[in-house]
Amino acid sequence: MTSPQLATSLAKFAEMEGRHPRLLLATASSDEERYHKHVATLFADGGFDVDVAPQHSDAQSIARQVIDCDADMLVLVRTSLTSTDRVHVADLISALDALDAEYVKFGIVGHADDPARSNVDFVCDLEHLQTSDCEALIDYILAVEEGRVAQHI
């Protein structure tokens, strides 16, 4: 069930963009594949259109898919801070920059104390991920979009 605040934010975004906010969900390593469904469902229930990057994607193919699916946000599921990541945060940032996709908001779902938190736009704790995180992220994306639109007026 959608809260009144979330419904209002979704309606505002849809009025501005003609669609719901869209995110691409990717994983840092094979360890996170099991969380795909849980995270994707939560964001879809929260009002996002969710696309999922294919398993074993590298940073360049994830960045290309962000562009191809017209995502507003890239969410990387990264739960193990000790395993060797297939996809590194720095590589994703570089790949997005190379495609002139700096406008895409990039965040991590994993641990609140992720060492890459200073390099991304947001971090959500996987253990406590809930609808209120979706509300906050939609409000964040909406504020970014309103600022972008105001600059072009």
Q: How far apart are the first and last CA of the chain?
A: 35
- Tens of pLDDT, residue by residue over 110-137, are 888 888 899 999 888 888 887 677 778 8
pLDDT of residue 37: 86
At residue 1 the predicted structure's pLDDT band, cuts being 50, 70 and 90, is: very low
Nearest 5°: phi and psi at 141? -60, -40
**pLDDT more than 70, % of the chain:** 91
pLDDT confidence of residue 136:
81
Q: What percent of the chain has pLDDT over 90?
A: 34
128-132: long-range contacts, CB 8 A cutoff, minimum separation 24: 129/38, 129/39, 129/42, 130/42, 131/3, 131/6, 131/42, 131/45, 131/46
pLDDT of residue 53: 94
- Check residues 83 and 146 and name the one with the higher pLDDT: 146
> What confidence tens digit (pLDDT) does each residue in 14-24 have?
888 888 889 99
CB atoms within 10 A of CB 35: 18
Sign of CA dihedral 46, 57, 126, 37: positive
CA–CA distance, 135 with 143 (Å, rounded to integer): 12
Quick: pLDDT tens for 53-72.
Answer: 998 889 999 999 999 999 99
Helices (H), strands (E): how many in the chain? 5, 5
